[in-house]
Structure 1
């Protein structure tokens, strides 16, 4: 692959897999997360998810943490920012959004991530907004919207925005800032060490909010075999494996292109949910995938 002037690179099969695996994992996370509704409070779910992920990662990262302690100390500010934007902010805000908002509203707002990425890149990192990037972002948004309204444009007029939509808007902005920061100021650390440092930072920041939630909300934390299976899944596939893939995808493809692939998440979620319910994908899923694919192709042009 060869880098372009904007830091975007052409795709090979490895990069394509790294770009596709996270949205597929996060789509599964959305479906599994719905199963936890009513049994685990949203912020607590996020805290326990990353606590388990950190414990699983610790044996592989601890030696590297000791070896790279000087680098960790030197880049402490960036690592804290990365942990706050991803572990503590994005995931918790998304779970909070789903408690008061509808899936269609949340995923439509999440589909605007490429637009926020372009705006943050232009305002904070002095990146130029190329016409094909803007066109690709808008095309991805159209494709996702078409799937979410099931091919019936009139459904857009029925959307009713609530407080949870603001949480998802904040989550989208946080993830866009995290992606740019990871691209521009990523510390030169092995993947396990960097992710472990982000998890520890995110847990420290999330701990007071989690404690407040458990003390003030009426919703209890109900342990069961189902909850244990949910937590094991969210702590491994959409957390550790997806974050590893996301880090490598950004390193290989730049900051702009990976976020366009996030728009595949609601499409994957629709496909997985219909398959789990015994229903096959509909025609509008195909139209949405083609439109999103066209947007991604347009965005990755030199």
Structure 2
């Protein structure tokens, strides 16, 4: 192969990686609607809501699994099963445990360490190198998220909430570890996320029976549950799976900080929250962090256009 051919092949590989990153970033957009749809479900308990939404998300991809992945299903490694179910269910289990045992703001901030942990853990992957701009971009995103969630008022951690803080920390570790370790199974079709969603729905239903009282959805609450399953608590995990397997995991980690920012923007637009200076400053920090972390990707895209 000539040098020109090798260069073109390298650029094509980089372009595929960029497209996969863009698809993974779509999950961030879907997660931004989580707060809006969740508030629309009323007083449905969290595990019940998780079971219902993941059932919708699992049924979304089940027809493709039944139609085209019988061989892949029979050869699916046990580690892939453990990672998929452990990541999806484990994150939500520890998140709800954290919310039950610590203030929501404190627990949310600790849990939202996962984008930064993704960037850090990515250095452990073969062929990946953690550059200073990746870490700096993720830290800027974290600073913006802290400001956004606290409203500029600061956080006071208290010893009586240690269980909740610990659960939130485990939550962050579970999701970041799942996202990075998912790179080990590029051969596992993304459609099989449907099975992980259905297994998560089943486990959440068991937790609901053990810990909660059933609340029957009414009226538009059914539509909100369906929207959750098609979007942030279901459909988003398909595109995230593809992105973490084939895209730029470091950039995806940094871009994830846009989720709380966009979520707040949706609430402001719909009257569920007020615009404020912390929102504006958080926007600058998170956007700046994303631009810093994506500098390398932008250069790759420019080279791809020049070569093509």
TM-score bracket, normalised by the shorter chain, equals 0.7 to 0.9
1:221 aligns with 2:215: yes
Separation in structure 2 between the aligned mates of residue 44 and residue 293 of structure 1, nearest angstrom: 35
1:54 aligns with 2:58: yes
Separation in structure 1 between the aligned mates of residue 43 and residue 101 of structure 2, nearest angstrom: 13
Residues 9, 96 of structure 1: alpha-carbon distance in 2 compared, 3 angstrom cutoff? farther
Separation in structure 1 between the aligned mates of residue 44 and residue 112 of structure 2, nearest angstrom: 28
Q: CA deviation at 1:11?
A: 9.0
Q: CA deviation at 1:251?
A: 4.6
1:26 aligns with 2:27: no
Separation in structure 1 between the aligned mates of residue 156 and residue 266 of structure 2, nearest angstrom: 25
Which residue of 2 is the match for residue 255 of structure 1?
249
Separation in structure 1 between the aligned mates of residue 21 and residue 125 of structure 2, nearest angstrom: 28
The TM-score, its normalising length taken from structure 2, stands at 0.77
Q: CA deviation at 1:252?
A: 5.0
Gaps of 5+ in 2: 1-7, 297-308
Which residue of 1 is the match for residue 88 of structure 2?
87
**Contact kept in structure 1, 2:31 and 2:259, CA below 8 Å:** yes
Q: Deviations over 1:231-257 (max 9, x none)?
A: 211111113432233234335532211
Which residue of 2 is the match for residue 134 of structure 1?
135
1:39 aligns with 2:61: no
Q: CA deviation at 1:125?
A: 6.4
Q: Deviations over 1:140-160 (max 9, x none)?
A: 11111222233x3xx214455
Q: CA deviation at 1:106?
A: 3.5
Q: How does 1:141-180 map to 2 (within 5 A)?
A: 141-150=142-151, 152=152, 155-160=153-158, 162=161, 163-180=163-180
Separation in structure 2 between the aligned mates of residue 291 and residue 11 of structure 1, nearest angstrom: 26
Q: CA deviation at 1:226?
A: 4.1
Count of aligned pairs: 286
2:239 counterpart (238, 245, 268): 245
Separation in structure 1 between the aligned mates of residue 10 and residue 105 of structure 2, nearest angstrom: 36
The TM-score, its normalising length taken from structure 1, stands at 0.78
Separation in structure 2 between the aligned mates of residue 11 and residue 283 of structure 1, nearest angstrom: 36
Q: CA deviation at 1:130?
A: 2.8
Q: CA deviation at 1:33?
A: 2.3
